[in-house]
Amino acid sequence: MATKTQAKIPVVDLSNLDLKPGTKTWFSARKDVCRALEEYGCFVAEISNKIPSELHNAISSSFAKLFEFPTEAKMKFTSERPFHGYFSTPKYERLVIDNATSTDVTQEFTNIFWPNGNHHVRESADSYVKLMAELDKMVTKMVFENYGVGDYYNSHMESTTHSFGIIKYNEPQKTGTNNGLANHTDKHFTTILHQNRVKGLEIKTKDGEWIDFDPSPSSFIFLAGDGLQVWSNDRIKACMHRVLLAENLETRYSLGLFSHNNKTICVPEELVDEEHPLHYKPINLRDYAQEQNRLVAYGKELSLEVFCGV
Ligand SMILES: O=C(O)CCC(=O)C(=O)O
Ligand SMILES: [Fe+2]
């Protein structure tokens, strides 16, 4: 299983999502995934045989319809979590569904917009969430095993929930490039993104260079969040990323699966040694996101060092 580069972001072929732990192909993919995460905080997961074109088309057809509802209708979709529910800024609008792996939840979500249900939107959301959650679980298992603490994977997953976000960027101004989303790291554990063909996502390398993600129907980008940085005691750094929108004829949509953990995240004792002294106190990611939300009003970004650095 070779790793190649796509504008320098490592690409790992995970087309076989049914990879069996313990097999040669699993170990080889695990090595590629972890090396990429340590070097870049992200990698492109190529899953060509798993994404039917109808599913990819759902971004521009089914999900686009959601944003055509009047603002009052979209505002009815609320959440107690910061940055979840319906959220809009002059640059973009987003709908983020909590606990999205539950089909009851996606049903409730579609019923807000279509009281008699909308089979197509609901099915598309369910299929995306299922595919992305499978990918997230597989990669997380690889990471835990890679550091010799695979035994902690099940309890970590038991306290993990996934939210699903659908983001629509507003048309950029007619001149130059436009900042769609400022530089940030994600405040939860991990993120997986999938886009229509419109470019815009960039990630920052260790050398401070920004490189583009070239979206395609069969590629998902997996990003380490701040939670994974804490858990790994800095072996994997959260991926700094941003969205720049060039002038395009097409609207940019992005789909995201965000993994949260409802327990306190601690560095496993096996990951602390002379070479890797403890960097972080235990962190509750929900409190961390809430504090970040409070600071957003002042245009500030919260850092892990300030919130829970040792
Ligand atoms: O639109 C994108 O591709 C990036 C979205 C993102 O970074 C986020 O939702 O945190
Ligand atoms: Fe992000």
Do the strands 42-46 and 9-13 form a parallel or antiparallel pair, or are they unpaired? Answer: parallel
Mean pLDDT lowest for which of 52-56, 250-254, 260-264?
52-56
Q: Tell me whether residue 5 is in a domain.
A: no
Angle separating helix axes 103-113 and 119-146, nearest 10 degrees: 140
- 182 CA to middle of ligand 1, Å? 10
Q: Residue 2 domain-assigned?
A: no
Please indicate, yes or no, if residue 6 is contained in any of the structural domains: no
Determine, yes or no, domain membership for 3. Answer: no
Q: Which protein residues touch ligand 1 with a CB less than 6 Å away?
A: 165, 167, 181, 186, 193, 195, 201, 241, 243, 254, 256
For the segment 97-115, the average pLDDT, to the nearest whole number, is: 93
> In whole angstroms, what is the distance from residue 45 CA to residue 14 CA?
6
Neighbours of ion ligand 2 (CB under 5 A): 186
Residue 53 placed within a domain: yes
User: Residue type at 95?
Assistant: L
Which ligand is closest to the CA of 91, given by its number? 1
How far does residue 121's CA lie from ligand 1's centre (Å)? 21
Examine residue 1 and state whether it is found in any structural domain, yes or no. Answer: no
Which atom of ligand 1 sits closest to the CA of residue 223? 7
Share of the chain above pLDDT 70, in %: 96
pTM of the model: 0.94
Q: 119-146 and 24-40 helices cross at what angle (nearest 10)?
A: 90
C-alpha span between 262 and 6 (Å, rounded) = 34
Model ipTM value: 0.99
Range of the domain at 302: 11-308
pLDDT digits (tens, 9 = 90+) for 44-89: 999 987 787 888 888 878 899 999 999 999 999 988 877 789 999 9
133 Cβ contact partners less than 8 Å away, ≥ 6 residues apart: 101, 162, 257
- Could you tell me if residue 48 is inside a domain? yes
**CATH number, domain containing residue 89:** 2.60.120.330
- Name the most confidently modeled range: 77-91, 108-122, 241-255, 269-283: 269-283
Ligand 1 mutation pick, 193, 196, 255, 296, max ligand atoms within 8 A of CB: 193
User: Is 107 among the domain residues?
Assistant: yes
Average per-residue pLDDT for the chain: 91
Number of domains into which the chain is organized = 1
